[in-house]
A = this chain, B = another copy of it.
Amino acid sequence: MPHHDLVIIGTGSGNSIPDDRFAGLDVAIIEHGVYGGTCLNVGCIPTKMYVYAADVAETIRRSGTYGVDASIDKIRWADIRDRVFGRIDPISRGGQRYRQFEQPNTTVYLGHARFTGERALAVAPTDGGEPVEVTGDRVVVAAGARPAVPEMIADSGVPFHTSDDVMRIDDVPRRLTIVGGGYIAAEFAHVFSALGSEVTIATRGPALLRDQDEEISARFTELAAHRWNVLLDAAPSAPPERRADGTILLHCPHGTIESDALLVAAGRIPNGDRLDAAAGGLATHPDGRIVVDEQQRTSVPGVWALGDVSSEHQLKHVANHEAAVVRHNLLHPEAPRCTNNAHVPSAVFTDPQVARIGLREQDCRERGIPYVTKVQRYGDVAFGWAMEDTTGVVKLVASPDGTLLGAHLMGPEASSLIQPLIQAITFGLDARTMAEKQYWIHPALPEVIENALLGLPLD
């Protein structure tokens, strides 16, 4: 039974933990899927490469607005795919090779791990064979999450895609139905419709992007309905079916949707269940996440968890921060650090982009926090004119005294424009000082932030 000083489950952010300072330890890394984790292989990075190609395609379609008449001659999906994975797959393979063959102190187990006791695991090799018992003095659980698939679809026998495989398909489906209404659904709806599909989004909920501020969600849903076939309150009412010609039928209260491919983007489930976390003694939340404290310690001594398997934020930048905290705490148990997730921003790379940090208007209302808001249109600042933008907005939520509570952006460059607001909220810069005591380049797009700040009806 191999015993290691440190066992890491998962090769996303977990893989980044061991650096030179771990050279004196016997380290094991366990991976049951593609090396490198969700972000690199099936998440943030490849999706953004597709999104940018989609952005370019949409720019071309809308170019006439600017006096530039253009037409798309051909969209080379296979070339896009091969460019994306031609770049990513070697990184994944290189990362695996490095740990497997170039680090004498590291053992890589390719297989699925299940806890059998405290700091004890059985690893079933991916290529078959008997499970291996692996134990560690210390264990880091960084096993991520996986796409959730409604049972009615999973059990139907009808083929479907998730974010795990849809980017590797051979061609753009003529008609694509997406089940779900969150950020993954919104990003893929943009990608596939820009690259040639007729897209239907069918979501259980009454709006798209329901995690956003209610006004952003409402505005986005309205815009989306102009571009995609958006079906709200559309939980599947019966199992999907597949015709002999390959057409897929999705039944929902609105009727039956015919399409050529089905993409399930209905959230992600933390992988604690598949690890038999309970057998390892690890406490979990009702939603399956492993319970951790502010030092990323689980309920079992010597076991830490980080990232999607334990975090309420399924975000790579959060996982990276947590991995840095765990790395420090493994190296310096006498002076542990805490994770600081007080101000976590996020973005949705759909069209238009959406970005947020902090409290939403509904949070303030529900918690009884006094607040004021300002919604500033991109179209009312000079660069917004230049872009002929008619839909972009910056919505700020602040205390009446000017303390910034939240920022919610929808429009071009939202994921970049939000950074000064992240910085202000994180470091406690108030709205008035932020607006008035620094320069905003005229006529650059951040003037929309400046004007939003100036427009807050403060005391």
CA–CA, A227 and B414, complex, Å: 30
Point out the residues of chain B lying under 8 angstroms from A44, CB to CB. Answer: 382, 442-443
Tell me whether A415 and B429 are in contact (CB under 8 A): no
Report A77-91 residues with CB < 8 Å from chain B CB: 77, 79-80, 83, 87
**In the complex, how many residues of chain A place their beta carbon closer than 8 angstroms to a beta carbon of chain B?**
73
> Number of copies of this chain in the oligomer?
2
Q: Which of B52, B72, B423 contacts A434 (CB 8 A)?
A: B423
CA–CA, A417 and B390, complex, Å: 22
CA–CA, A39 and B383, complex, Å: 13
Q: Which of B75, B321, B423, B424 contacts A67 (CB 8 A)?
A: B75
CA–CA, A285 and B383, complex, Å: 34
Say yes or no: A75-B68 contact (C-beta < 8 A), given A423-B423, A445-B416.
yes
Point out the residues of chain B lying under 8 angstroms from A438, CB to CB. Answer: 343, 422-423, 426-427
Tell me whether A70 and B80 are in contact (CB under 8 A): no
A448: nearest chain-B partner, CB-CB: B416
Tell me whether A69 and B75 are in contact (CB under 8 A): yes
Which one of A26-34, A56-64, A117-125, A149-157 is at the B interface? A56-64
Which one of A17-25, A104-112, A301-309, A344-352 is at the B interface? A344-352
User: Closest approach, in angstroms, between the C-beta of A411 and any C-beta of chain B?
Assistant: 12
CA–CA, A449 and B80, complex, Å: 27
Point out the residues of chain B lying under 8 angstroms from A87, CB to CB. Answer: 385
Q: Which of B52, B60, B422 contacts A387 (CB 8 A)?
A: B52
Say yes or no: A343-B48 contact (C-beta < 8 A), given A70-B73, A420-B420.
no
User: Closest approach, in angstroms, between the C-beta of A159 and any C-beta of chain B?
Assistant: 25
Q: Which of B49, B75, B80, B195 contacts A385 (CB 8 A)?
A: B49
CA–CA, A448 and B434, complex, Å: 23
Point out the residues of chain B lying under 8 angstroms from A424, CB to CB. Answer: 423
Which one of A237-245, A312-320, A364-372, A391-399 is at the B interface? A312-320
| B-binding residues in A (CB < 8 A) | 39, 44-45, 48-49, 51-53, 56-57, 59-60, 63, 66-77, 79-80, 83, 87, 195, 315-318, 320-321, 340, 343-347, 355, 382-383, 385-387, 413, 415-420, 422-424, 426-427, 429, 434, 437-446, 449
Q: List 9 A-B contacts (CB under 8 A).
A: A44-B442, A45-B382, A53-B67, A60-B68, A68-B195, A69-B76, A317-B439, A345-B441, A419-B444
4 interchain residue pairs of minimum CB distance: A67-B80, A415-B444, A52-B386, A53-B66
